[in-house]
Amino acid sequence: MTEDFVLRALAGGIGAALAAGPVGCFVIWRRMAYFGTALAHAVLLGIALGFLLELEPFVGVFAMCFILAGCLILLERQRLVSLDALLGVLAHAVFAAGLVVIAFMERLRVDLVGYLFGDILSVGVVDLWLIYTTAAISIAALLWQWRNLLSVTVNRDLAAVEGVPVERVRFLLLIMLAGVIAVGMKIVGMLLVVALVIIPAAAARRVSSTPEQMAVASAVIGIIAVISGLFSSLEWDIPAGPAIVLVASVAFAASLLIPSRGQQGRDD
Amino acid sequence: MPGDASRARPLIEARGVSVSFGRQNVLDKVDIAVHAGEIVTLVGLNGAGKSTLIRVLFGIVRPDLGTVVRTPGLRIGYSPQHVHRDPILPMTVRRFLTLGAPASHDRLKKVLAEVGAGTILNHPLAEVSGGELHRVLLARALLREPGLLVLDEPLAGVDVTSQAELYQLIATIRDRYGCGVLLVSHDLHMVMAATDTVVCLNRHVCCSGHPKVITRHPEFVSLFGPHVANAIAIYPHRHDHRHDERGEPVPIDDGDPKSPDMSGGQG
């Protein structure tokens, strides 16, 4: 079981989980799950974009997620439609556009199932580079802006009064989320990528009493889910992406049995 | 102290500030100033523009018209009305206090003791009571050693006895540090007794003035005790206008202009 493609799959999955864990914590703290879903729906359009520009499909996905993240930030300022509705409109509009554009491009042969459900066993060397570059950048950015990110999460205005550049910090988080969605898509597919982002983070809550512990625990749970999911998939010949998400979901359910932490006693 | 304050330059001052969101006029030529050592209470109903006005003072919202002048280097300590304290975010009081800036254990203990919440340093923020939360927010503001304290609804969800305690705490802090205090409240009539100036906002400044101490009223004293009666004052509004259905100010042309109807006209 140590063939190259298995090792690459393992490395790719671990890298994606590493990046997704801490960002996923902010997604559930700030209730941004729907942002993630909207970004994931841009994947097909991104692949078409990559094809048009003769780039790696993966690069097209990155670019499309970043473009959509930018649009969301700009559109969030309008007050005509609620953010919730706006995300719903945008997500399905870009998804539909992706399907239509791909149907038009006759020369483009797309493995639709692979993009919808992920294809971890086809992770190549270029993919590994992209995954680990994204993970390294997003972890570095998290460490650099950690306190500002937390401060903005707790109260925007208070953070602003204390000198935090609130808009830049929120933009950074959305960009990181776009990057994580783009790499996670390769592992578990666009339909399940949000699960890879939020389920390990949700499972980490009960074993953490500080935000930092939760970020680390979330990455660890994600990595465990990737390893066990991948090997169950090879062992029992089941699809890898859903297996990974199922393991993470079991971890979440198990975490609910643990009594809530966070209280360290009355005083020290 | 309040007497000197009015002659010195204010810590922060808004002059003729107007803000509109789309067609909605939220603030109309509003003036407000807070001096060092002065307690200003900003009162107004929901939707009167109080939050927008403080966001203008903070520089978060840019006014369409008018200016905000701040003393250079002014540090503001802000206690917001709400903080996100969902149990999904594992955040202790200690971690919350150090989100703005790092502080030593001793300093955290000291500042929490000062606001009367000395024992909850390691508690989850999501589990402290409403009254404790106001004290924790005040502690975070004080950690910045502010020249100006802005307290948005610092008494929301607190019973009247604890309100009096918090008012006394705020007055003590003002006396000890000499900072200016801007207190935001939706209670139009009951204000903090130590308030130097009340500013009543309903998109524009309806009136401003000093509150009346009600300590002497025997019924109030017997109902709440002298501590409460000493901390809370009544603010009699003197408006020369009322508001029509669209909220536009119109002159008072009938009835007694000396006793405008706050409940009906929302003046």
Residue A245 and residue A88: Cα distance in Å, rounded? Answer: 23
A206: in domain:
no
Which residue from A207, A212, A201 is spatially nearest to A261, judged by alpha carbons? Answer: A207
Phi/psi region, residue B89 (left: phi>0; alpha: psi -120 to 50; beta: rest), is beta
A216 touches chain B (CB under 8 A): no
Q: What is the pLDDT of residue B150?
A: 94
ipTM: 0.80
- Please determine, for residue B2, whether its predicted confidence score (pLDDT) is greater than 90: no
For residue B78, give how far its alpha carbon lies from the nearest alpha carbon of chain A (Å).
Answer: 6
Distance from the first to the final alpha carbon of chain A? 50
pLDDT band at residue A263 using 50, 70 and 90 as cut-offs: very low
Q: Which two tokens stand for residue B65?
A: 């018209």
Q: Is residue B27 classed as helix, strand or coil in its secondary structure?
A: strand
- Please determine, for residue B249, whether its predicted confidence score (pLDDT) is greater than 90: no
Residue B175 vs residues A65, A142, B170, B171, B194: alpha-carbon distances, Å: 54, 41, 9, 6, 10
- Please determine, for residue B9, whether its predicted confidence score (pLDDT) is greater than 90: no
Residue A106 vs residues A94, A101, B33: alpha-carbon distances, Å: 20, 10, 68
A236: in domain:
no
Residue B256 and residue A264: Cα distance in Å, rounded? Answer: 61
Q: What is the pLDDT of residue A153?
A: 92
A255: in domain:
no
Residue B74 and residue B10: Cα distance in Å, rounded? Answer: 11
A151 touches chain B (CB under 8 A): yes
Domain count of the fold of chain A: 1
Which residue from B91, B99, B87 is spatially nearest to A151, judged by alpha carbons? Answer: B99
Q: What is the pLDDT of residue B256?
A: 45
Residue A219 vs residues A8, A15, A20, A206: alpha-carbon distances, Å: 19, 10, 7, 14
Q: Which residue has the tokens 């900003």?
A: B42
Q: What is the pLDDT of residue B258?
A: 44
Q: What is the pLDDT of residue B247?
A: 64
Q: Report, as an integer, the average pLDDT of A171-200.
A: 90
Residue B210 and residue B5: Cα distance in Å, rounded? Answer: 14
- Please determine, for residue A268, whether its predicted confidence score (pLDDT) is greater than 50: no
| Domain residue spans of chain B | 2-75+147-236, 85-145
A220: in domain:
no
Q: Which of A26, A79, A161 to mutate to test the interface with B (most CBs of B within 10 A)?
A: A161
- Please determine, for residue B260, whether its predicted confidence score (pLDDT) is greater than 50: no
- Please determine, for residue A138, whether its predicted confidence score (pLDDT) is greater than 50: yes
Interhelix angle A166-188/A4-29, rounded to 10 degrees, is 140
Q: What is the pLDDT of residue A264?
A: 44
Q: Which residue in the set B83, B87, B92 is minimally distant from A155, CB to CB?
A: B83
A to B CB pairs, distance under 8 Å: 86
Which residue from B243, B256, B261, B242 is spatially nearest to B188, judged by alpha carbons? Answer: B261
What length does chain A have? 268
- Please determine, for residue B222, whether its predicted confidence score (pLDDT) is greater than 70: no
A172: in domain:
yes
- Please determine, for residue B252, whether its predicted confidence score (pLDDT) is greater than 90: no
Alpha-helical regions (H) of chain B: 2-5, 50-58, 93-97, 105-114, 130-143, 160-177, 218-231, 262-265
Residue A64 and residue A47: Cα distance in Å, rounded? Answer: 8
pLDDT band at residue B212 using 50, 70 and 90 as cut-offs: low
B101 touches chain A (CB under 8 A): yes
A262 touches chain B (CB under 8 A): yes
Identify whether the C-beta of residue B195 lies closer than 8 Å to the C-beta of residue B43: no
Which residue from A22, A13, A35 is spatially nearest to A243, judged by alpha carbons? Answer: A13
Residue B266 and residue B195: Cα distance in Å, rounded? Answer: 22
pLDDT band at residue B245 using 50, 70 and 90 as cut-offs: low
A118: in domain:
yes
Q: Which of A155, A207, A255, A266 to mutate to test the interface with B (most CBs of B within 10 A)?
A: A155
> B159: which residues sit within 8 A by CB, 6+ positions away?
none
Residue B183 and residue B198: Cα distance in Å, rounded? Answer: 9
A259 touches chain B (CB under 8 A): no
Q: Report, as an integer, the average pLDDT of B212-219.
A: 57
Identify whether the C-beta of residue A16 lies closer than 8 Å to the C-beta of residue A130: no
Condensed to tens digits (0 to 9), the pLDDT of residues A20-77 reads: 999 999 999 988 888 888 888 888 888 888 888 888 777 888 888 888 888 887 877 7
Average pLDDT value for chain B: 80
Query: Of A1-5, B30-34, B43-47, which range is least confident?
Result: A1-5
Q: Which two tokens stand for residue B156?
A: 């929301």
Alpha-helical regions (H) of chain A: 4-29, 33-40, 43-52, 57-76, 83-104, 112-117, 125-154, 156-161, 166-188, 193-204, 211-236, 240-255
At position A1, the amino acid (one-letter code) is M
For residue B79, the chain A residue with the least C-alpha distance is: A158
For residue A218, give how far its alpha carbon lies from the nearest alpha carbon of chain B (Å).
Answer: 13
Q: A143 pairs with which residues across the strands?
A: none
Q: Which CATH class is domain B2-75+147-236?
A: alpha beta
Query: Of A53-62, A87-96, A118-127, B96-105, which range is least confident?
Result: A53-62
Q: What is the pLDDT of residue A127?
A: 86
Residue B58 and residue B79: Cα distance in Å, rounded? Answer: 12
Q: What is the pLDDT of residue A169?
A: 92
Q: What is the pLDDT of residue B126?
A: 87
Q: Which two tokens stand for residue A201?
A: 């983070």
Taking CA B258 as the corner, what is the angle to CA B252 and CA B259, rounded to the nearest 5 degrees?
Answer: 85
A158 touches chain B (CB under 8 A): yes
Q: Is residue B233 classed as helix, strand or coil in its secondary structure?
A: strand
Condensed to tens digits (0 to 9), the pLDDT of residues B181-206 reads: 999 988 777 777 778 888 888 888 87
Give chain B positions within 8 Å (CB) of A205. Answer: 88, 90
A218 touches chain B (CB under 8 A): no
**Residue A14 belongs to a domain with what CATH number?**
1.10.3470.10
pLDDT band at residue B166 using 50, 70 and 90 as cut-offs: confident
Q: Report, as an integer, the average pLDDT of B149-154.
A: 89
Of A223-227, B108-112, B117-121, highest mean pLDDT? A223-227
pLDDT band at residue B221 using 50, 70 and 90 as cut-offs: low
Q: What is the pLDDT of residue A186?
A: 84
Q: What is the pLDDT of residue A33?
A: 87
A113: in domain:
yes
Q: What is the pLDDT of residue B139?
A: 92
Q: Which residue in the set B76, B82, B86 is minimally distant from A161, CB to CB?
A: B76
pLDDT band at residue A149 using 50, 70 and 90 as cut-offs: very high
Q: B185 pairs with which residues across the strands?
A: B43
Say what the pTM is: 0.83
Q: What is the pLDDT of residue B264?
A: 38
Phi first, then psi: give them for residue B73, nearest 5 degrees.
75, 10
Domain of residue A32: give its range.
4-187
Condensed to tens digits (0 to 9), the pLDDT of residues A72-113 reads: 878 777 767 788 888 888 889 999 998 888 888 777 677 778
Contact A160 B126 (CB under 8 A): no
B109 touches chain A (CB under 8 A): no
Q: Where are the beta strands (DSSP E) in chain B?
A: 12-21, 24-34, 39-43, 65-70, 76-79, 148-152, 180-185, 190-192, 197-202, 204-209, 212-213, 232-234, 241-243, 249-251
